[in-house]
Amino acid sequence: MADFGVQAITWNPPKTPGRVTSKGIEESEDPMKEFLQLLVAQIGNQTPDNPMDATQMITQYAQINAAIGLTHLKQSSAAFQKTTTASALMGQDVVVSNARDGLFAQGKVTAVDFAGETPQVKIGDTYYSLDDVTHVGS
C-alpha cells in the first residue's frame, strides 16, 4: 500500500522582519498575496485520500477579502476624519504641544495643509501636525 503522507514542507520566511509601531503591528503590504501563497501551500500539501473541501477554500477567501476591505475602510475613515477635523480648525484658537520635539505654540489656525500623510495646521509662520493639537478654543 502506498504512503500518501506529506512529502515535503516548505517555509519561506519573510524577507524583512515585521515592525511593531505605536499603532500596533505593521500590516503586510499585500495580505492577499500572502493568503494566496498559504492557500497554494495548503492545496499542494493535501493528501489524495483527504482533499481540502472547496467550500472551506471559498469561505477562507471570502473572509480574507472581508478583512482586507474592513482594513481599507478603517484607513479611509480615519483619513477623512482627520481632514474634516483639520478643516474645522480654520480660524480657531488652538494649542499645539509635542513633548517629543519640544514644540509648543498657541494661536489662530490660518491655513491647513493636506499634502502629507497627516494634515498640518499653520499657526503664525509654522505648520504643526494635527496630531499635536491638544486644545481648541481660548
User: pLDDT value at position 94?
Assistant: 92
Class of domain 89-136: mainly beta
Residue 119 dihedral angles phi and psi, to the nearest 5°? -60, 150
CB-facing half-sphere around the CA of 24: CA atoms within 13 A: 2
d(CA 128, CA 103): 9
Threshold 0.85, pTM exceeds? no
Beta pairing class for 24-25 and 93-98: unpaired
List CB contacts of 118: < 8 A, sequence separation 6 or more: 82, 129, 130, 131
Residuewise pLDDT in 10s, the chain (138 residues):
455 554 455 555 555 555 545 444 455 567 777 777 877 887 777 777 777 777 887 888 888 888 888 888 998 888 889 888 888 899 999 999 876 677 788 899 999 998 888 899 999 998 998 988 888 886
User: pLDDT value at position 22?
Assistant: 47
Beta carbons of 131 and 118 less than 8 angstroms apart: yes
